Structures are given as structure tokens and as C-alpha cells.
Amino acid sequence: MKNSKHVTADHHENLAKHARALVSATQHIAEDKVADARARLSDLVDSAKEKWEYVEDKAMDTAKHADEFVRKKPYHTLAIGVGVGALIGIYLARRK
């Protein structure tokens, strides 16, 4: 999971870097529409970064809670896994 996390984070950072470069490259253009677009792009990049951090924190919290549950109640976890596996097996058997 760490590899996909790093790849996604790298894509996010790359997108933010390109967006900031675009804002910098168009800084000398004084037209109102361009200035408004640059301001909106900057706001969107900042908003996306905040949302990404929130989602990343929530995912980590959820993973930690799941890990705690598995460690505290291994037999419950095993029963849930067997039950889900049985339901999937029944579904796939009837599907054919």
C-alpha cells in the first residue's frame, strides 16, 4: 500500500508543481480574466491539497482502527472473513 500511496502523493505534488508554475508563468499578464483564472487555480490547488491531507489522515485512521480490531478480536475477524467468503462463493455458484 505504501507504493500506491507514494505514487499518488507524487502525482498530487507533480500536479501542484505544474499548477504553481503556470501561475508563475502567467504572472506578468495583466488581463483581468487571466488574473482571475490564476487566482482560482491557486485556490483550487490549495483546496485540493487540504482535501488530500484530510482523506489521507482518514484512511490512516481507518487502517489503524481495523488493525486494532483484528488484534483485539481475531476470532471475530476470522468469522467475518469466513462469512464474507461463503456469501461470495454462494453468489458466484448461483451466477453460473
Would 14 be classed as within a structural domain?
yes
Q: What phi and psi values does residue 26 have, to the nearest 5 degrees?
A: -100, 10
Would 80 be classed as within a structural domain?
no
Would 77 be classed as within a structural domain?
no
The total domain count for the chain is 1
Alpha helices in 1-96 (DSSP H): 2-25, 32-72, 74-95
Q: pLDDT band at 4, cuts 50/70/90?
A: low
C-alpha cell at 18: 505544474
Look at 38 and 60; give whichever has higher pLDDT. 60
**Measured over all CA atoms, what is the biggest interatomic distance in the chain, rounded to whole angstroms?**
66
What pLDDT score was predicted for residue 46? Answer: 85
Torsion, Cα 16 19 20 23, to 10 degrees, reads: -160
Q: What phi and psi values does residue 28 have, to the nearest 5 degrees?
A: -75, -15
Would 90 be classed as within a structural domain?
no
Would 55 be classed as within a structural domain?
yes
Among the ranges given (3-7, 45-49, 79-83, 85-89), the one the predictor scored with the smallest mean pLDDT: 3-7
Would 43 be classed as within a structural domain?
yes
| Contacts of 41 by beta carbon, 8 Å cutoff, 6+ apart | 19, 22, 23
User: How many other CB atoms are found less than 10 A from the CB of residue 51?
Assistant: 10
Q: pLDDT band at 64, cuts 50/70/90?
A: very high
Would 46 be classed as within a structural domain?
yes
Percent of the chain with pLDDT over 90: 43
What pLDDT score was predicted for residue 84? Answer: 96
Q: State which residues form the domain around 54.
A: 2-68
